[in-house]
Chains A and B, each alone.
Chain A
Amino acid sequence: EPEVTQTPSHQVTQMGQEVILRCVPISNHLYFYWYRQILGQKVEFLVSFYNNEISEKSEIFDDQFSVERPDGSNFTLKIRSTKLEDSAMYFCASSEYRDRYMNTEAFFGQGTRLTVV
């Protein structure tokens, strides 16, 4: 069964360092997302991406964050200068494109646990 895959599963980085989290969405999906979950808390939307551009972003997704689809398969989230409070589980998700307004359910990857020390 097709699935969203994320690498690495766990990343430890020093405060101030840049990190890139990688995702391979399901191959026929056209909408991509990043969410994060701080330990023990709710899952929060960061950004959605369609047609090579951001379609929506939350207030969490500030200038420290960027997303990219560098080739036909990968979707990346970059954090330029990590802070302690960026420590969280980051989930990538993808969904099929149905129409401009309503897409299908999002399928999530297994997550990347980012620990900033």
Chain B
Amino acid sequence: AQKVTQAQTEISVVEKEDVTLDCVYETRDTTYYLFWYKQPPSGELVFLIRRNSFDEQNEISGRYSWNFQKSTSSFNFTITASQVVDSAVYFCALRPFSGGYNKLIFGAGTRLAVHP
């Protein structure tokens, strides 16, 4: 099965807290890509990061960081010192190599609410 699970439906934090959004994926492929997208209240989908299956280096971009662990099939996303503008739904997505080369399989999303 090719599947993405985001077990946290909603997370609520106070500004400046750190928060980690979990993503667990399933694929039989050894080659695949993982993505995170942000969907703010305005509704569009904003690309955040792409990671291929051969690159397990963690990545940091400003207050955002991603932890990819193939051993646990996880690709978690951490926001450090959260801000109100981070409030959005965050989707993790998988693009497997086999079958649909260009199809993204999305998780159900995690709604993050950051309160002042």
Contact = CB atoms under 8 A, between A and B. Distances in A.
B50 interface: yes
B59 to A, nearest CB: 14
Determine chain A's interface SS by DSSP, over half rule: strand
Interface string B23-56: 0000000010101010000111111001000000
B102 A33 contact: yes
A40 B114 CA distance: 19
Residue in B47, B100, B102 with the greatest tally of chain A CB atoms within 10 Å: B102
A32 to B, nearest CB: 10
Contact of B91 (A42, A100, A107, A109): A42
A35 interface: yes
B44 A110 contact: yes
Nearest to B105: A45
Nearest to A111: B43
B100 A56 contact: yes
A106 interface: yes
Interface string B85-105: 000000101000101111111
A48 B103 contact: yes
Contact of A42 (B44, B46, B102, B108): B108
Contacts of B47: 105-108
B101 A101 contact: yes
Nearest to A43: B106
Given A48-B102, A107-B47, 19 more contacts: A42-B91, A42-B108, A42-B109, A43-B45, A43-B91, A43-B106, A55-B102, A56-B100, A56-B103, A58-B103, A93-B45, A95-B102, A101-B97, A102-B31, A104-B50, A105-B50, A106-B102, A111-B43, A113-B43
14 contacts: A41-B108, A42-B107, A42-B109, A43-B91, A43-B104, A43-B106, A45-B104, A55-B101, A56-B102, A56-B103, A58-B103, A91-B45, A105-B35, A110-B42
